[in-house]
Amino acid sequence: MKDLRRYLALKYIQYLVLSSSNTVSTLLGLLGSAYTMILLQSAKVSSKSTAVLISSLAQADILVFLSIVSDVVLGSFGAGVSPAASALARILLTANTHVSCVLLSCVAFEAYLITFLPSESRPLRTVRNARLMSRVIWALVAAECALFLMDDHLRASSASTPSHSPLELLFQLSSAASALLRSLSYILGILLRIINVYIYYKIFFSMSPR
């Protein structure tokens, strides 16, 4: 449907084109996701693997809404936004960005398969596989964010931790793992941008009149 294609275009611009989020793109993304979740409940939208991936993509924006709520609720207990609220909001936005980027790449890869390998890829492009892929992506990002939260907590409590204690060793391991994971996430983000551009470049020119 045209509305779903417009939504995907909006999401590609928001997560894979813009260098950083802003108020306008965030608001448009939230409105687009809310409309898409309503649209996907319609009987006019067939239950296909692409629809499952798009549904999971729209649901990821719930994390953005929760980050805004955490800023307002937790920040209301102090003069400004508390460190706890800021850390939670940052983690929620990180989860939203990572889930969305990977799901958008899955949609792009599926479009590539549909365009160039429609018959060969049909056994892979099932609703069951799409749901499994979405769950795996969410689980991996949840584990990533849990590590980031643990690292933030250990950093906050490291000032009162005695040297050479087991907690100090745990802090060092967590800090090293978090730094490595952030570097890998940054590299993966760049690779996903390149791959998405390549995929849609191939699709565009394969459909252009020769």
Residue 156 CB: number of other CB atoms within 10 A? 12
- Going by pLDDT thresholds of 50, 70 and 90, the confidence category of residue 84 is low
| Residue bearing the bigger pLDDT, 19 or 191 | 191
Q: Which domains are delineated in the chain?
A: 1-207 (1.20.1070.10)
If pLDDT is split at 50, 70 and 90, which confidence band does 198 have? very high
Q: 77 pLDDT exceeds 70?
A: no
pLDDT of residue 78: 54
Three-state DSSP string of 131-166: HHHHHHHHHHHHHHHHHHHHHHHHHHHHHHCCCCCH
The predicted-structure confidence for 93-135, as pLDDT tens digits, reads as follows 999 999 999 999 999 999 999 999 999 999 999 999 999 999 9
Q: In this predicted model, what pLDDT tens digit does every residue of 130-189 receive, in sequence order?
A: 999 999 999 999 999 988 888 877 777 765 555 555 666 777 787 888 889 989 998 998
CA distances from 162 to 168, 169, 172, 176, 205 (A): 7, 11, 13, 19, 62
Q: For residue 90, what pLDDT is reported?
A: 87
Q: Which comes out higher in pLDDT, residue 71 or 97?
A: 97
Residue 207: pLDDT band by 50, 70, 90 thresholds?
Answer: confident
pLDDT class of 85 with cuts at 50, 70, 90: low
What pLDDT, on a 0 to 100 scale, did the predictor assign at position 204?
Answer: 87
- Structure confidence at residue 2 (pLDDT): 85
